[in-house]
Amino acid sequence: MTVPVLAALADSARAVAHRRSGGACVCGDGGAVLADRADASVVRHGDVVAKAHAPDTDPAELAVRLDVAARLPGVLLAPSAPGATRLHGRLVTFWPHGTPVDRDDPDSAPWEAAGALLARLHAAPVPGTIPPMRGPAKAARAVARLRAAEPHPAAPPVLRAWAGLPPWARDEAAAPGPLALCHGDLHLGQLVRGPDGHWLLIDVDDLGMGDPAWDLARPAAWFACGLLSPREWTRFLDAYRDAGGPAVPAGAADPWPALDVPARALTVQTAALAISKAVAGRRALDEVEQALVDACARMSGVDVRPPELAPDATK
């Protein structure tokens, strides 16, 4: 994003932060840039966070997603203001600041809270018409980026794994039911501690109706690729099941018939982005990125497990 837009974003965050205190900034906070990516820029001032959404964001869909966030206290962080405003052609929203997960302390990761919050999101009543969850669209975009990048020896196994996925997981068909309200882009950066100390989900840009197993699929992919220990994976999954989450059958010992396709898609998405970044940065894949590519290579030899054929499936 250009510097003028970042500056304008910082100005509006400061204006909202001091709206109730006479307008003058006395906190000495210069406005911290929390993120500045192609798809979003986020600036914090005091207790207020201003987010400029991706340039191609649909205003009507964002309005619906903001409305959902405002209606699910205790699950999603509610916006500070009801709608989005325009700033330099970008849609901008305002949020209370929350404390993120500590990236330097894997032991403090809130796996139980993540599982329980997703279970409550997936069980939430859906008011009116909600756009589709954008998880498959994000996976398809990552693969398109890989195809557009310079050739790389790790690309073919990733593209083969992608070709083996059913059309709905590649964003080429509607997701099979039953559908639920989904976050669409869950990772540990999507949890913050709200003002009352409870964990909440943030970032509604990809939220919508879809297969709820998609929200479990990134941790599932990390576990399958050996990046997340069985213990942490089990803490997350058990919390989700104990809170009544609908994505995996409650009584089934093996959740993988439900998780297989979304976890493959997230592995492909993550591997595709890793290769694209390695190509752009003219560097080799690191050990973690190679583990994702290796998992993609193994997928071609293993058939997709359809949930309806699973012996334990009760849906």
Partner 1 sequence: MQCPKCHAPMHTYNRNGVQIEQCSGCRGIFLDYGELESLTRLEAQWGQQAPPPPAPPTAPQGYPAAPAPAWGAPHGGHHGHGDHYGHKRHKSFGHMLFSS
Q: Which of these segments, 9-17, 49-57, 106-114, 121-129, binds partner 1 (CB under 8 A)?
A: 106-114
Q: Is 315 in the site for partner 1 (CB under 8 A)?
A: no
Q: Is 223 in the site for partner 1 (CB under 8 A)?
A: yes
Main-chain dihedrals φ then ψ at residue 123, nearest 5 degrees: -95, 0
CB of 266 to partner 1, least distance (A): 10
Three-state helix/strand/coil letters over the chain = CCHHHHHHHHHHHHHHHCHHHCCCCCCCCCCEEEEECCCEEEEEECCEEEEEECCCCCHHHHHHHHHHHHHCCCCECCCCCCCCEEECCEEEEEEECCEECCCCCHHHCCHHHHHHHHHHHHCCCCCCCCCECCHHHHHHHHHHHHHHCCCCCCHHHHHHHHHCCCHHHHCCCCCCCCCEEECCCCCHHHEEECCCCCEEECCCCCCEEECCHHHHHHHHHHHHCCCCCHHHHHHHHHHHHHCCCCCCCCCCCCCHHHHHHHHHHHHHHHHHHHHHHHHHCCCCCCHHHHHHHHHHHHHCCCCCCCHHHCCCCCC
Q: Is 157 in the site for partner 1 (CB under 8 A)?
A: no
User: Which residues, numbered 49-68, are part of the site for partner 1 (CB under 8 A)?
Assistant: none
Q: Is 172 in the site for partner 1 (CB under 8 A)?
A: no
Cβ distance to partner 1 smaller for residue 29 or 112 = 112
Q: Which of these segments, 5-13, 87-95, 119-127, 184-192, binds partner 1 (CB under 8 A)?
A: 184-192
CB of 234 to partner 1, least distance (A): 5
Pick the binder of partner 1 from 104, 128, 129, 311 (CB under 8 A). 104
Cβ distance to partner 1 smaller for residue 6 or 268 = 268
Q: Is 225 in the site for partner 1 (CB under 8 A)?
A: yes
Q: Is 153 in the site for partner 1 (CB under 8 A)?
A: no
Cβ distance to partner 1 smaller for residue 12 or 269 = 269
Q: Is 253 in the site for partner 1 (CB under 8 A)?
A: yes
CB of 291 to partner 1, least distance (A): 6
Q: Is 222 in the site for partner 1 (CB under 8 A)?
A: yes
Binding site for partner 1 (CB under 8 A): 101, 103-104, 106, 109, 112, 138, 185, 187-189, 222-231, 233-234, 237, 242, 253-256, 259-260, 263-264, 270, 273, 286-288, 291, 294-295, 298-299, 301-302, 305
